[in-house]
Amino acid sequence: MKSIHDFQMPGLKGGMLNFADFKGKKILLVNVASECGLTPQYRQLQDLYEEYGDRVVVVGCPANNFGAQEPGNEAQIASFCSLNYGISFPMTAKISVKGDDMHPLYQFATQASENGKEDSEVKWNFQKYIFDENGYLLGSVAPMKQPADDEVLSMLGLL
């Protein structure tokens, strides 16, 4: 069965982001946007990454699928994240997380036929997908749930 470790894609600041590099750690995959009411979640995502980076990797995927809330290019997004939230966790290049142009990574995350676990739909910015240390989907968490919510922390094995 395919795992998230089978994916690699361009990084926000260039280079390639290879998910196989994260073997042995849980992965918190989040579609992010700079102009969303949920954008302050960046702070908790960064805090999680700083505190538990030895066990958990946060990966942000900028996407402009909801209300045009991520209009910037990669350089603008990287600058915003750095200046406003000090983001140091890995981020992908800007992608689409739903619709006809959905990136293969999100096809994998949202389709049981791909991930072997469950079908889901990305409902808004900051939806969270959690993968185990072997790259298999554990589940998804609604956008409104904060990264430090007990449901997220429990799935990440941090409670």
pLDDT at 19: 98
Q: What is the pLDDT of residues 1-50, one digit of tens each?
A: 899 999 999 999 999 999 999 999 999 999 999 999 999 999 999 999 99
Catalytic residue check, 81 = no
Residue 27's domain comprises 4-155
Q: What is the pLDDT of residues 81-133, one digit of tens each?
A: 999 999 999 999 999 999 999 999 999 999 999 999 999 999 999 999 999 99
CA dist list (Å): 123 to 30, 47, 120, 134: 12, 24, 9, 26
The neighbouring-strand residues paired with 137 are 131
How many domains is the chain built from? 1
Q: Whole-angstrom Cα distance, residue 102 to residue 142?
A: 19
Question: Pairing relation of β-strands 26-32 and 56-62?
Answer: parallel
pLDDT at 1: 82
Quick check: 90 and 78 in contact, CB under 8 A?
no
Q: What CATH number does the domain containing 13 carry?
A: 3.40.30.10
Q: In the predicted model, is pLDDT for residue 142 greater than 90?
A: yes
**What does the chain look like in DSSP terms, one character per residue?**
---GGG-EEEBTTSSEEEGGGGTTSEEEEEEE-TTSTTTTHHHHHHHHHHHHTTTEEEEEEEB--STT---S-HHHHHHHHHHHH---S-BBPPB--SSTT--HHHHHHH-HHHHSS------STT-EEEE-TTS-EEEEE-TTS-TTSHHHHHHTT--
**Residues 36, 122, 137, 155: which is the catalytic one?**
36
Mean pLDDT of 130-155: 97
Mean pLDDT of 137-154: 97
Tally of CA atoms within 13 A in the half-sphere of 128 that contains its CB:
26
Quick check: 143 and 31 in contact, CB under 8 A?
no
